[in-house]
Amino acid sequence: MRTSTKRNGIAFLFAKALLFTLFVCCSHLISFAREAPAITITGRVTAAENNNPLPGVTVALKGTSTGTVTDKDGHYRLTVSNGQGTLVFSFVGYVRKEEEINDRTTINVVLALDQTAIEEVVVVGYGTRKKSDVTGSLSSVSAQQIKQVPVQSISQALQGRAAGVDVAASSFRPGDNPQIRIRGNRSLKATNYPLVVLDGIPLPDSSSINDFNPSDIASVEILKDASATAIYGSRGANGVILVTMKKGKIGAASVTYDGYVGFSKPLTTLDMMDGGEFAELRREAYRNNSDPLDYTTPFPNPKQDFNLFKGDINMWESVAQGYEWADKANLIPKYRAATAAEQQQFALYGMGSFDSVPVYNAGKVRTTDWAKMALRTGLKQDHQVSVSGGSEKVRVVMSLGYYNESGIQKTQSFERYNVRLGIDYNVSRIIRVGGSTMASVSTQQFGAPLYFNAIGQLPLAVPYDSAGNKIYQPGGDALIFNPLFNIDNVIDERRTTHVMGSYYGEIQLTKDLRFRMNFGPDYRQYRRGQFYGSLSTNRNRGTSQAIYDQQQRFSYVLENLLFYDKQINKQHSLGLTLLQSIQHERYEASGLTVSNLPYDKQLFYNLGSTNNSGPDAFSSDYSQRRLMSYMGRVNYTLLDRYLLTVSGRFDGSSVLAPGNKWDFFPSFALAWKMQEESFLKGVSFLDELKLRVGYGKTGNSAISPYTVQGRLAKTRYVWGDNPAWGYLPNLIPNPELKWEATYQVNGGIDFSLAKGRITGTVDVYQANTRDLIMDRQVPTVSGFGFIQENIGSTRNRGVEVSLGTVNMETNSGFRWTTDLVFAKNKEEITELYGAKNDDIANRWFIGQPVTVFYDWKPIGVWQTSEADAAAAYGRKPGQGKILDLNNDKVIDARDRMVIGNNVPDWSGSIVNTFAYKGVEFSFFFYARIGQMIASGYYRPSLAGRYTERKLDYWTPANPSNVYPRPRQDQERIDYPESYLYQKASFVKLRNVSLAYNLPKSMISRLHIQNLRVYVTAFNPWLITDFKGLDPEFTANYQTNINDQLTDNNNLSDKSIVIGLRVGF
């Protein structure tokens, strides 16, 4: 009862905060509308350095929301209530200037360059810094870059934008999001996902930035090395992603609409066998059967075809269309003479000689395009309306967003609603408060994997009978069901409600000392409802089934920060940051499964109506965790050329046992601005040359609550003659368990040449992760199988390059720029179980990445000329040839080897942008080279029972060296898993965009500030040797090999998008 009251109290306080924000926003927007004009002021704003006009300068009446911006010639016109007050002129890169009105109607202003504002400012942990003063490894992604690609989530927008940040999909369903890795995988059992900090609030692992609208993002910074991430302590080992949302701007309220509509088709599809090819596959499988009488001719013959396909009369009718008939009822075809070439091929089969053959054309065999029935033209649309405005006192931003995508597979879709309110309020000269509230509701129709079910159908079968009714088991096979029934009989709906706040209060205690408090509540509710009708392929005409699962997570972060910034004698600059933080997360979940529901329309909404005596299964779960932290950081700059950053953070966690709850995470970084030295002052082409080096320790806090205490499991036992339930330990307590720790060293160079025409960054690094959490095997007589201990190590080493160039810039306004990103990372396990021992059962190997493919290696097919060599292995021509690693003439477990891994040798991207007088054209290539994936489409059965991809398999007339000869009495070929692993290098043309910004002279009469129209081709082109759909796929390292397959997951789309951005 107390828990419920506490939860309601938190919800009430949260609602009050949201209502207060709405009230203040509305109050100030109303006040904007009440301004009454009295006099009109005109003027011109120019630049001090060249006397050129400055377009886009904000001109605002101080203390009010009244304002405007200058036009392309620097002119402005502003109406104010009276002749008193102050005008404020502000423009990025220039010193802000104030002018008293004093009843003047003409005020011309000259703005001077702001040397400090010229430099780019980036977000770092707990603050901002000039980019030239950053000492750690950091990559930035701007709002403009995010907008260039029409994506549903922030994660997708990061792909290819930052060196060392690998973004790859594990599924392409609408609503699914890619996996992000920064500088490789470190952990075997814990998470490798980076920490996300949204508007200064570290999000819990269960939260997701992908619930929010990418259009609300102002910038994204990625902290990569330990000297930058150590301030986040036990959560910084996997890198940190800092997301900054847009804030309200000073000036009159402005309204912006940003939206697009797009149409999608599959990027690539599987090339499956047609009806004639499948019929021949089945014939060949029977020719190679243990019973030589199953198929006795090396060419098609109708009588034996009838025996092979009579299980479904429609299958036979499909095959029969390939023959020319003399008497179809008696299975007598027309014949023709066999050619000499055909007779030579027939002789290879050893089935006798044949002078004539039936008249047969495989191209006339009927083929059902099952895949086409599962697909549709996808539709995606995104719309956002935002309002921004404010005065020197208050700035407000509000946005509403809607995203909807109907996937290219029928039954799959995603829909999301977003709302965001933000306010910054200067209470007085020394006190500021503000924050933002973000909310989203998303619904994903996960759907059945309809396409992947469809391509498994026999191409000779048909989906409907002559009356137009769906056939439940087309093809007559007991294990093949019509997937079209799943369209109406499978529902998998996943709904997420996410509300998050980021609030702050700040007071300037002295000129140099500032206190700030951050508070970030986060509530996320997830519900999954599943329904499988009686006719679904899951239930196979049994009773219906419904499953209802729900999870609620509430967390909050409360931080107290103290900042001290002091400039001493223009030679020394000192910055001090102190932090005290607490984080709390609460989780609970429940689930219920029932079957035999009375009617289908209720889906999963009325589980109590089951005709059974009770549920088939039920469950519940609960956990909570707390983290307390103390952090200190010192930034010191000498002579604006020598920079030092030192930090240390203490973290204490509730999930660890006493004695191991706390750990310390230190770091330091040095930087040298070499261009400030006298010996480089004369180098005219050098703008910036900064050397960096840093070292630090970070942690991985992903230890599940209650692990160190051990766990109990329910079990059955017999007491006397009576069965009973009891509990027994199923996890050995380990109070010595502690966080995994990463020690990383990073060296880098930042440079700018030729007045910014060439800029770039190069980083090299090595990260050693120790105390990996692993399952150590223990003797089974103990009653346990394993104990979790810190007994492993990994290492990541790599190089990253980011380069930007201005290739051409003319006086006529033409500009061509290029941005290039390159990253290479070597990931390897260095220690297992405290020693240099491989763990074959888990596929963990010293010197190899975390996820590898370990199996036998196919090296071809035994050919007729190799009959004797094949016999030494108990094989014969036409069977698969496996590499004999130890050359002992026996293929066994000792011949298994590491085939490859899913880590690319390198990845990179290149973006070219051309602009001329409002017209912009850009294209974006992205590449991942050297990785391997496991694809079930490359693991054929070749038994003639199921359809296959178009394969080059061995026959006496086609001595292929790729796949072995089909065989009907063998369910799968020998060593089938060894054919899974395929090279998956690819280059994608990720994005091609053409945009036009209409000139203000055309749109100003409509009171429009800016108008941009664009058309974008998303994923229009793929270059790869991989034939199993999209190779941009990465598997979870914790799963077994079957879960790493691309099956059901990697059907991606390409789309054409038409968009509009307009501001008022």
Nearest to 909 by CA among 924, 922, 923: 924
SS3 content of the chain, % helix, strand, coil (to 5): 15, 45, 35
Give, in order, the Cα–Cα distances in Å from 741 to each of 456, 583, 737, 794, 1015: 46, 20, 12, 10, 47
Nearest to 464 by CA among 444, 434, 484, 479: 484
Is the pLDDT confidence value at 71 over 90? Answer: no
pLDDT-derived band of residue 14, with 50, 70 and 90 as boundaries? Answer: very low
Q: Which of 147-161, 303-317, 537-551 is predicted least confidently?
A: 147-161
> Which residues does residue 395 pair with via DSSP β-bridges, in sequence order?
390, 424
Q: What is the pLDDT of residue 765?
A: 97
Measured CA to CA, the distance from residue 98 to residue 109 in angstroms comes to 9
Measured CA to CA, the distance from residue 901 to residue 884 in angstroms comes to 21
Measured CA to CA, the distance from residue 179 to residue 166 in angstroms comes to 8
Measured CA to CA, the distance from residue 513 to residue 1035 in angstroms comes to 49
Count CB atoms within 10 A of the CB of residue 327: 9
Tokens of 338: 């066999």
Q: What is the pLDDT of residue 1042?
A: 56
Burial of 838-858, coded b for 16+ CB within 10 Å and e otherwise, reads bbeebbbbeebbbbbbbbbbb
Q: What is the pLDDT of residue 484?
A: 96
Nearest to 907 by CA among 817, 1016, 988, 832: 988
Q: What is the pLDDT of residue 27?
A: 47
Report phi then psi at 811, rounded to 5: -65, -20
Please write the tens of the pLDDT for every residue from 430-484: 999 999 999 999 999 999 999 999 999 999 999 999 999 999 999 999 999 999 9
Distance of CA 123 to the CA centre of its chain: 22
CA dihedral 967, 971, 972, 973 (to 10 degrees): -30
Q: What is the SS3 assignment for 660?
A: coil
Average pLDDT over residues 620-647: 95
Q: Which residues contact 9 (CB under 8 A, 6 or more apart)?
A: none
Q: Which amino acid is at 1006?
A: L
Q: What is the SS3 assignment for 17?
A: helix
pLDDT-derived band of residue 150, with 50, 70 and 90 as boundaries? Answer: confident
CA dihedral 959, 963, 969, 974 (to 10 degrees): 130
Pinpoint the alpha helices (H) of 750-891: 867-871
End-to-end CA distance of the chain: 52
Q: What are the residue ranges of CATH 2.170.130.10 in the chain?
A: 121-249
Measured CA to CA, the distance from residue 227 to residue 233 in angstroms comes to 11
Mean pLDDT of the chain: 90
Contact status, residue 222 vs residue 196, Cβ threshold 8 Å:
no
Contact status, residue 901 vs residue 829, Cβ threshold 8 Å:
no
Measured CA to CA, the distance from residue 448 to residue 409 in angstroms comes to 9
Give, in order, the Cα–Cα distances in Å from 667 to each of 56, 336, 547, 671: 43, 84, 49, 14
Is the pLDDT confidence value at 183 over 80? Answer: yes
CATH of domain 121-249: 2.170.130.10
Is the pLDDT confidence value at 1 over 60? Answer: no
Residue recorded with tokens 């800029």: 759
Bridging pattern class, strands 325-327 and 332-333: antiparallel
Q: Which residues contact 761 (CB under 8 A, 6 or more apart)?
A: 139, 163, 748, 749, 750, 751, 800, 801, 802
Q: Which residues contact 482 (CB under 8 A, 6 or more apart)?
A: 457, 463, 470, 471, 472, 473, 474, 537
Q: What percent of the chain has pLDDT over 70?
A: 95
Is the pLDDT confidence value at 335 over 50? Answer: yes
Q: What is the pLDDT of residue 767?
A: 96
Q: What is the pLDDT of residue 631?
A: 97
Nearest to 922 by CA among 860, 1060, 1014, 1035: 1014
Please write the tens of the pLDDT for every residue from 1021-1043: 999 999 989 998 776 544 455 55
> Which residues does residue 981 pair with via DSSP β-bridges, in sequence order?
934
User: How many CA atoms are closer than 13 Å to the CA of 289, on its beta-carbon side?
Assistant: 21
Instruction: Give 35-117's CATH code, choosing from 3.90.1150.10, 3.30.70.20, 2.60.40.1120, 1.10.3720.10.
Output: 2.60.40.1120
Contact status, residue 943 vs residue 936, Cβ threshold 8 Å:
no
Please write the tens of the pLDDT for every residue from 755-772: 889 999 999 999 999 999
Bridging pattern class, strands 858-861 and 792-809: unpaired
Q: Which residues contact 608 (CB under 8 A, 6 or more apart)?
A: none
Contact status, residue 918 vs residue 996, Cβ threshold 8 Å:
yes
Distance of CA 154 to the CA centre of its chain: 8
Tokens of 1015: 């058309």
Tokens of 972: 């799968």
Measured CA to CA, the distance from residue 136 to residue 119 in angstroms comes to 17
Measured CA to CA, the distance from residue 947 to residue 743 in angstroms comes to 51
Is the pLDDT confidence value at 551 over 90? Answer: yes
Contact status, residue 626 vs residue 558, Cβ threshold 8 Å:
no
Nearest to 700 by CA among 193, 143, 3: 193
pLDDT-derived band of residue 16, with 50, 70 and 90 as boundaries? Answer: very low
Measured CA to CA, the distance from residue 1018 to residue 602 in angstroms comes to 39
Query: Which pTM value belongs to this model?
Result: 0.86
DSSP string, 402-415: EEEEE-SBTT-EEE
Q: What are the residue ranges of CATH 2.60.40.1120 in the chain?
A: 35-117
Can you count the helices (H) and strands (E) in the chain? 14, 52
Please write the tens of the pLDDT for every residue from 309-331: 999 999 999 999 999 999 999 99
| DSSP conformation class of 963 | B
The radius of gyration of the chain's CA atoms, rounded to the nearest angstrom, is: 34
Taken as a whole, the chain contains a residue count of 1064
Is the pLDDT confidence value at 23 over 90? Answer: no
pLDDT-derived band of residue 119, with 50, 70 and 90 as boundaries? Answer: low
Vertex 358, ends 352 and 361: CA angle to 5°? 120
> Which residues does residue 110 pair with via DSSP β-bridges, in sequence order?
46
Q: What is the pLDDT of residue 849?
A: 93
Q: Which amino acid is at 8?
A: N
Q: Which residues contact 971 (CB under 8 A, 6 or more apart)?
A: 941, 943, 945
Q: What is the pLDDT of residue 1045?
A: 57
| DSSP conformation class of 362 | G
Q: What is the pLDDT of residue 286?
A: 96
Q: What is the pLDDT of residue 35?
A: 42
Measured CA to CA, the distance from residue 10 to residue 14 in angstroms comes to 6
